Structure 1
């Protein structure tokens, strides 16, 4: 798929806007005539491409874009590690990444203490009932604004039912993580695909229920900010766990 906004933020935050190898600054300030210049690149330690740098067919596909498999580098060192794969092995790059992130953390300890970042929930914002989702467009628009996900599904599913439920939940999450970078036509196509999956679920008498919980991210240097989370439950219509105000 693609690196999620969350993993991208974690990587840049832990790397302190510095290349993990040369520690040069990766964002140059704007000038009177131009905007900021970004020379940092999010690099894969294990490539997701079949013949990519340090590719490994045994490496879990769902970990390719995980922050643990990413290292922040300048463009020069990104090119170098991908050209010199025998020298820059996965083990060496992981050590470089860990040492750099520890260096950043130690440097920041010299600064005034910053409140830890945490997620704040309020009882009033936690949805008690999840409304049924009828269309792919409705599902996509709801998921596109979410930063995190709570997923649930019925326990009494057959293997065939479990396969289509798992696929639907995964696709909702994947489309949501890509939504900010998608063109309008791509969003329409994504909605169409989710619509097909919703109809396929209903052939098994299975329904999708979803709602957004408005959480808040507090602490850090940015103050308080919104942190919307999607609650998604995929259930049989007769499942006792289904709580909805709508008739099915």
Structure 2
């Protein structure tokens, strides 16, 4: 038998990457020329070998590689406990192991709890109604830098209309995500493409409405982080939620 990956993970996790005796760190960071160095060893309290340190013929064989029979040590203290078996008895090693794992647990409790990450909407920033967008240039500049999207469209679109609307929404999203990395000429071409789509929709009496909402990501280790959310709605002029200038 051998120590399972699960028991290794439990032992290293409960030991906090520290030797149970000297509490030195057991993994050294990589250097510009070499990989990480692991100096920790998973040590048996009761040896599985007949003549091994602290061997016990009455100890259940199936418990030899159990996490309860393992202690995490640096190489120096591994050798010491196996050379000085009269001093480092199973009872003493279990006490050392238990005390060390309690120390690790208490140290972790001292770390302030990181607030959960959540999205915060600000009432004043939520658009009451979306203004109509008349050009691709206007659409591009509103959408540029948006990190999230609320999309809506009319329910009674034909298959042809639905294809046009779906393609337009996807293009707006794609350009919004790429906008910050685009050169001026690319931005002009993107605006022109959006303009053509807006005009094609307008010929079918379908209008584009859009606005930006500012939201916040709060919590985590980085503090509050504001981001832009695009509200985009594509609607037929006959839709009940479309308000004309005459009725506004």
Q: What band does the TM-score fall into relative to the shorter chain?
A: 0.5 to 0.7
Is 1:126 paired with 2:126? yes
| Structure 2 residue runs without a partner (length 5+) | 1-28, 33-107
Q: Say what the alpha-carbon RMSD is for the aligned residues.
A: 2.6
Alpha-carbon displacement from aligned partner over 1:162-190 (angstroms, at most 9, x marks no partner): 10000000000011111111111111110
Alpha-carbon displacement from aligned partner over 1:130-180 (angstroms, at most 9, x marks no partner): 000001011011111311000000001100001000000000001111111
Residue 201 to residue 117, structure 1, CA distance change in 2 (3 Å): same
The aligned residue for residue 60 of structure 2 is none
SS of 1:130's equivalent in the other structure is: coil
Residue 222 to residue 201, structure 1, CA distance change in 2 (3 Å): same
Please give the alpha-carbon distance, in whole angstroms, between the structure 2 residues aligned to 1:176 and 1:201.
20
Q: Is the 8 A contact 1:129 1:243 kept in 2?
A: no
The aligned residue for residue 83 of structure 1 is none
Please give the alpha-carbon distance, in whole angstroms, between the structure 2 residues aligned to 1:187 and 1:200.
20
Alpha-carbon displacement from aligned partner over 1:75-130 (angstroms, at most 9, x marks no partner): xxxxxxxxxxxxxxxxxxxxxxxxxxxxxxxxx99954211111101222111110
The aligned residue for residue 102 of structure 1 is none
The aligned residue for residue 177 of structure 2 is 177
Q: Is the 8 A contact 1:144 1:175 kept in 2?
A: yes
The aligned residue for residue 38 of structure 1 is none
Please give the alpha-carbon distance, in whole angstroms, between the structure 2 residues aligned to 1:230 and 1:213.
6
Please say which of residues 169-178 and 117-126 is displaced more in the overlay. 117-126
Please give the alpha-carbon distance, in whole angstroms, between the structure 2 residues aligned to 1:109 and 1:188.
55
Deviation at 1:242, TM superposition (A): 2.3
Normalization by structure 1: what TM-score? 0.54
How many equivalent pairs are there?
144
The aligned residue for residue 237 of structure 1 is 237
The aligned residue for residue 155 of structure 2 is 155
Please give the alpha-carbon distance, in whole angstroms, between the structure 2 residues aligned to 1:121 and 1:242.
25
Please give the alpha-carbon distance, in whole angstroms, between the structure 2 residues aligned to 1:229 and 1:244.
25
Q: Is the 8 A contact 2:145 2:177 kept in 1?
A: no
Please give the alpha-carbon distance, in whole angstroms, between the structure 1 residues aligned to 2:204 and 2:247.
17
The aligned residue for residue 209 of structure 2 is 209
Deviation at 1:241, TM superposition (A): 2.3
